[in-house]
Amino acid sequence: MLRLLLLCGALGCGAEEAAPLAFTMLQLTRVYKGSSMFRGNASLNGQLSHLLDEQSVTQVLPLEPPDAWARRQDEVNAYLKNFRQLVQLFNMERPTDFTQHLCCHFGCRLFPNGTTQSFYEVTLNRTAFLSFHVPNATWQLRWPGELPVAAFAQAQLMRYPVTTQDLQYFLNTTCVSLLQAQSASTGTLSGRSRAPLVLGLILGSLALLGMALGIFLCTGGTC
């Protein structure tokens, strides 16, 4: 029995696998009668780093100097403003009386053995809608059954490098490099973290995603 216990100790029998490091971001958008409401957050290694609420984004962790963060906030506010204007424009052309809920969930994970996993998932009204296949930088349909709107959104997203090649680079390289740097520093958050840079890059790519999806979010599902 002693030998068995020693062997299990050496092999890690019964030990729980270490949790992967992760950077994830969640954006929720509600569209109703030409108005848009936003909520979201970003977390690094399980710690909340940013909050997106209605009209602005807040830096929860002091990861960026005040002057640099002020510029970042301006970029985010410009994105939110452009999205709202786009939704209002489409609503004037084709008014709708129903609510649409768009959710974007994306990020990357670094496992203890060095392997990585990146993802980008989109749901529409709480139903799987689109996902980004990172290895070959393509958007894939996830809607159950045929839906012209889904095919239209997929085609629109595939047209722009920022939502294909740039997004692939962010998920495979920028995001993973951030976690590797955190892993090298024993997983603790550093004041020099590049998380704000990551936030800016991903929000930039969301601008085109919002444009492509906004085309049909306020058109009653026609394209």
Residue ranges of domains in the chain: 21-186
SS (H, E, C) the chain: CHHHHHHHHHHCCCCCCCCCEEEEEEEEEEEECCEEEEEEEEEECCEEEEEEECCEEEECCCCCCHHHHHHHHHHHHHHHHHHHHHHHHHHHHCCCCCEEEEEEEEEEEECCCCCEEEEEEEEECCEEEEEEECCCCEEEECCCCCCHHHHHHHHHHCCCHHHCHHHHHHHHHHHHHHHHHHHHCCCCCCCCCCHHHHHHHHHHHHHHHHHHHHHHHCCCCCC
> pTM for the whole thing?
0.77
Alpha-carbon gap, residue 120 to 23, rounded angstroms? 12
Model pLDDT, residue 139: 92
Q: Which residue has the tokens 């002693």?
A: 2
Give the rounded distance of the alpha carbon of 94 from its chain centre. 29
The Cβ-side half-sphere exposure at 17, using a 13 Å CA radius, reads 6
Please name the amino acid found at residue 139: W
Strand duo 35-44 + 47-53: pairing? antiparallel
Angle at 206 between CA 106 and CA 50, to 5 degrees: 60
Write out pLDDT tens, residues 96-105. Answer: 777 888 888 8
Model pLDDT, residue 52: 85
Model pLDDT, residue 37: 86
Alpha-carbon gap, residue 202 to 167, rounded angstroms? 8
Model pLDDT, residue 7: 35
Angle at 30 between CA 27 and CA 36, to 5 degrees: 100
Q: What architecture is domain 21-186?
A: 2-Layer Sandwich (3.30)
Q: Which residues contact 116 (CB under 8 A, 6 or more apart)?
A: 108, 109, 110, 172, 176, 179
Alpha-carbon gap, residue 112 to 17, rounded angstroms? 9
Write out pLDDT tens, residues 5-40. Answer: 333 333 344 444 578 889 888 888 888 887 888 888
Which residues of the chain, if any, have pLDDT below 50?
Answer: 1-16, 187-193, 218
